[in-house]
Amino acid sequence: MRIRFDRMRWTAGLAAFALIAAGCASGADDSAAGLSDALGTTSDINPKDRDEVREGGNLRLAVTSFPANWNTLSNDGNDGEIADIERPLMPRAFDVDAAGNLTVNRNYFTDVALTGTDPQQVTYTINPAAVWSDGTPITWEDIAAQARALSGRDKRFLIAITNGFEFVDKVERGVDDRQAVLTFNHPYGEWRGQFAGNSSLFPKSVTADPESFNKGLVDRLGPSAGPFVVQSTDRVQGRIVLGRNPKWWGETPKLDTITYSVLDQAAWASALQNNELDLVRLASIDEVKTVRNTSGLVIRRAPGNRWRHITFNGAPGSILADARLRVAIAKAIDRQGIATATQNGLVENPKPLNNHIFLQGQDGYQDNSAPVAYDPDQAAQELDALGWKLNGDVREKDGRKLEIRDVMYNDPLWVQIAQIIQQNLARIGVRLTIDTKPGAGYFTDVIIPGDFDAAQFIFSGDAFAMSSIRQIYYYDPNDLQGNYGRVGSPELNALIERTLTELDPKKAIELANEVDRKVFEEGHSLPLTQSDGSFGARADLANIGSPGLASYDYTEIGFVK
């Protein structure tokens, strides 16, 4: 989930409950937030009634790069920062509260319901007032076109995720053009996440054919349907301005504009301190202290939904193609040491994340990391057994040195993590090269093509825990979606299918944890730490901050009177 490479951990991705106790005002001390074992139920957004928020104003936010593709359903656009920009612009079926509870987003749908079980059917009834920004009504045809595009049946669509549409047999017109009926050819338990969370509904002009889907939104967004529209963009200056949508049918937004500036994340806290930004995500205890010591700023902290990890490249011919080698190397990485070094002072008891699917505090979370438990001596023995023998400081096999190139966004915290891993691996004779990249083109030019041995980025999620396990961990060499490391097996694929089609929630959680154990055993990727959810904000900024799992109401955001 990526902070830029909040690559959407599954565009309708994981429910992430990082249970960090909510922090408050600038007068708070520097004590760390405590972790809880209960489900996350809090957000910290300075909630205010509409009549307490002044009319007008410009909200200043930051991103680390200009969108490579505004279509977040496409592989090139499957980026959390792009999704964040588009949240005030595009339709979603459900609103989510801080505990992950869902209510139908009535700006777009009057009803979304499971209307049949044999076969499974879901009916979307569209708000009759809902229109795209060009005045075109939102209809069942928009839903049908997106379902076809994401089904995976036409490989010309370069999709980031199937999101359960591989199980949709057909989409039909309901009682009128404002109703769509989806009929499934197989049960799908996370049907609520298909047009929700991180997954927006796009107009059929985008999703109806591969060319418009893949390339139509490379330079601009096109028709949208939210309280805001894209008012202007400047790729050279690195600026995106959203303004009020004159065709919006809901509550009038309090803000006049929202401005996104492209800025290296290392400079975000300073820009906030210098009154150049209004809200930023914080990455270190030093940044937290900077905000706390600046007049007019406050810390907002609630359950985080982002987590850092390492993806290994297991493509045929790569140095890490052997799963046994990937697992041995993972055993030599001190994830507890990484958690302590990077989160001490931010959380009360820093500890690594030990699950790929559920986060700490979420129903279903359990520690499945035993296959990669930290044991450098065992790792060294396994490398010996695989024929990787020490030759000086670095192991070799068949004349090839065991050297790994670790790729990451050029950010101080990522580099710090890489340096810890570098020291860990040197102990067992593995050389790690730190290869930093700029934000622009990081995914399109580096990660998606697989130009790495190991790669570090951030996954993020939402309230739909099993929407798209398939996106990251299912391996189809002809349809990679988000499996950038090209790691998997027929056994794991079958287990993923069983999990996605299980309608009993408890059984689905059990199966999901079986998937997680298998992912660890295959050395697919290695979770590191979960976000503490710290944001710095202007004290008078209302209805936005650290949301936890909650979705924002962009018509309510603004500055206190």
Q: Could you list the mean pLDDT of each consecutive 10-residue stretch along the chain, which spans 561 residues?
A: 34 30 32 40 90 98 94 91 95 90 96 95 98 98 98 93 93 98 93 88 97 96 97 96 98 98 94 98 92 96 87 97 98 97 88 90 88 98 98 96 95 93 98 92 90 93 78 91 94 95 90 97 96 94 92 97 96
In this structure, what token pair is assigned to residue 246?
């004159």
Is 555 within 8 Å of 250 (Cβ atoms)? yes
What backbone torsions phi and psi does residue 153 show, to the nearest 5 degrees?
-80, -30
Is 286 within 8 Å of 305 (Cβ atoms)? no
- Dihedral sign (CA 550, 556, 558, 560): negative
Residues contacting residue 247 through CB under 8 Å, at least 6 positions apart: 131, 133, 135
119 preceded by a cis bond (ω within 30 of 0) = yes
Q: How far is CA 291 from the centre of its chain?
A: 25
Ranges for all domains in the chain classified under CATH 3.10.105.10:
306-530
Closest to 499 in 3D by CA, of 491, 509, 484? 509
In this structure, what token pair is assigned to residue 285?
């205890």
Ranges for all domains in the chain classified under CATH 3.90.76.10:
80-216
Residues contacting residue 114 through CB under 8 Å, at least 6 positions apart: 120, 121, 122, 191
Residues contacting residue 458 through CB under 8 Å, at least 6 positions apart: 1, 2, 3, 5, 6, 7, 80, 306, 307, 308, 309
pLDDT at 210: 97
How many other CB atoms are there within 10 angstroms of residue 428's CB atom? Answer: 23
pLDDT at 7: 37
Alpha-carbon gap, residue 151 to 146, rounded angstroms: 8
CB-based burial of residue 192 (10 Å sphere; 0-12 exposed, 13-18 middle, 19+ buried)? buried
> What CATH number matches the domain at 50-64+227-303+535-560, 1.10.10.410, 3.40.50.720, 1.10.3720.10, 3.40.190.10?
3.40.190.10
Closest to 84 in 3D by CA, of 184, 214, 226? 226
CATH architecture, domain defined by 306-530: Roll (3.10)
Alpha-carbon gap, residue 63 to 420, rounded angstroms: 27
pTM: 0.82
Alpha-carbon gap, residue 355 to 18, rounded angstroms: 12
> What CATH number matches the domain at 80-216, 3.90.76.10, 3.30.450.20, 3.40.50.300, 3.40.640.10?
3.90.76.10
